[in-house]
Homo-oligomer: A and B are copies of this chain.
Amino acid sequence: MPKLLILSREADKYRALIEKARLPDLTIGLTPTSDVDIVFGETGLIKDALASLPALTWVQTTSAGVETLMNSALRRDYILTNARNVFGKLMSEYVFGYLLAHERQIFKRFADQQAKHWNQKNTGVLYGKTIGLLGVGSIGAELARTAKFFEMTVHGYTRSSETSQNIDKYFHGNDLLKFASGLDYLVSVLPNTQETRKIVNADLLNTLAPHTLFINVGRGSAVDETALLDALNENKIAGAVLDVFEQEPLPIDHPFWTTKNLIMTFHSSAPSLPEDLAKVFIENYKLFIEGKPLQHLVDFERGY
- Chain A residues with a Cβ under 8 A of chain B: 89-90, 93-94, 96-98, 100-101, 103-104, 106-107, 109-110, 112-113, 116, 118-127, 146, 149-151, 248-250, 252, 257, 263-268, 271-273
**Other-chain contact of A97, B104, B120, B252, B264 (Cβ < 8 Å):** B104
A100-B97, A122-B272 as given contacts; A89 in contact with B151, CB under 8 Å: yes
How far, in Å, is A114 (CB) from chain B's closest CB?
A: 8
The residue in A118, A150, A264 that gathers the most chain B C-beta atoms within 10 A of its C-beta is A118
**How far apart sit A158 and B248, CA to CA, in the bound complex (Å)?**
49
**How far apart sit A109 and B150, CA to CA, in the bound complex (Å)?**
25
A97-B106, A100-B96, A110-B263 as given contacts; A122 in contact with B257, CB under 8 Å: no
**How far apart sit A5 and B100, CA to CA, in the bound complex (Å)?**
36
How far, in Å, is A57 (CB) from chain B's closest CB?
A: 32
A96-B96, A149-B149 as given contacts; A125 in contact with B90, CB under 8 Å: yes
CB of B101 within 8 A of CB of A97, answer yes
CB of B110 within 8 A of CB of A266, answer no
A100-B97, A151-B89 as given contacts; A267 in contact with B120, CB under 8 Å: yes
**How far apart sit A269 and B272, CA to CA, in the bound complex (Å)?**
32
Which residues on the B side are within 8 Å of A273 (C-beta)?
Answer: 125, 127
Which residues on the B side are within 8 Å of A266 (C-beta)?
Answer: 109, 112, 118-120
Which residues on the B side are within 8 Å of A116 (C-beta)?
Answer: 252, 257
**Other-chain contact of A122, B119, B123, B268 (Cβ < 8 Å):** B268
Which residues on the B side are within 8 Å of A98 (C-beta)?
Answer: 104, 106
**How far apart sit A78 and B176, CA to CA, in the bound complex (Å)?**
58
CB of B101 within 8 A of CB of A106, answer yes
**How far apart sit A90 and B151, CA to CA, in the bound complex (Å)?**
11
CB nearest to A112 among chain B residues? B266
The 9 listed contacts between A and B (C-beta, < 8 Å) are: A93-B104, A98-B104, A106-B106, A107-B110, A113-B263, A119-B268, A121-B268, A124-B271, A125-B273
CB nearest to A265 among chain B residues? B109
Other A-B contacts than A101-B106, A118-B250, A149-B149, 7 sampled, CB-CB below 8 A, are A89-B127, A93-B104, A93-B126, A100-B100, A106-B106, A120-B266, A122-B268
